[in-house]
Amino acid sequence: MPASSSVPLHSSDEPVVGVVMGSDSDWRVLSDASQVLTDFGVPHEVEVVSAHRTPDKLLRYGREARGRGLRAIIAGAGGAAHLPGMLASLTGLPVIGVPVQLATLDGLDSLLSIVQMPAGIPVATVSINGAKNAGLLAVRILGAADPQLAAQLDDFAKDLESQVEEKNRRLKD
């Protein structure tokens, strides 16, 4: 294994994951993804990029993402949620889509806007408001080539398992 591949991908402070959302009103959901990345020590950036209100910024963000050092993008939007799909069409980086639930239609519109991508342009769609899993999926993507992150993910899974067992014990008390 070349020496460079043992260097953790998140060894510098430069962001390697972009957390973007269609509106600042999506932050109540997307903050969960940011929190997971912070917990795992993954440098990331947070940005409002609207597919409809800031189309030039969308184009710039997608086209420049890889060159700026990003390795994955988490994109959340609600309603006519075109942000994740458009970003996936502008970059070869993995894009994780988070359907944000709005007051109308229970988030089903957001989910369907994100999940039904045409063949060739994939978006890994998580559940409605599933920003925590989006963060974890980004960590897994980075962890595929980063032993330190992979070990942290193993610890995370063991911790989850213990929590379930602890709750199980309490049920029986």
Binding site for ligand RP5 (CB under 6 A): 21-23, 25-26, 50, 77-79, 100, 102
Closer of 73 and 139 to ligand RP5 (Cβ): 73
What are 147's two structure tokens?
Answer: 């032993």
Structure tokens at 91: 């970059």
Smallest distance from ligand RP5 to CB 48, Å: 9
**Closer residue to ligand RP5 in complex, CB, 23/89:** 23
For residue 151, the minimal CB distance to ligand RP5 (Å) is 35
Q: Which pair of structure tokens corresponds to residue 21?
A: 């959302």
In the complex, minimum distance from the CB of residue 23 to ligand RP5, in angstroms, rounded to a whole number? 3
Tokens of 34: 């940011």
Binding site feature residues for substrate:
23, 26, 53
- C-alpha 144/C-alpha 139 separation (Å) is 9
Compute the 3-state secondary structure of the chain and give helix, strand, coil in percent, each to the nearest 5. Answer: 50, 15, 35
In this complex, which beta carbon is closest to ligand RP5, that of residue 55 or of residue 69?
A: 55
* Tokens at 171, concatenated: 């049920």
| CA dist 143 → 80, 131, 150, 159, 163 (Å) | 32, 18, 5, 18, 23
In the complex, residue closest to ligand RP5 by CB: 22
* Cβ nearer to ligand RP5, comparing 23 with 152: 23
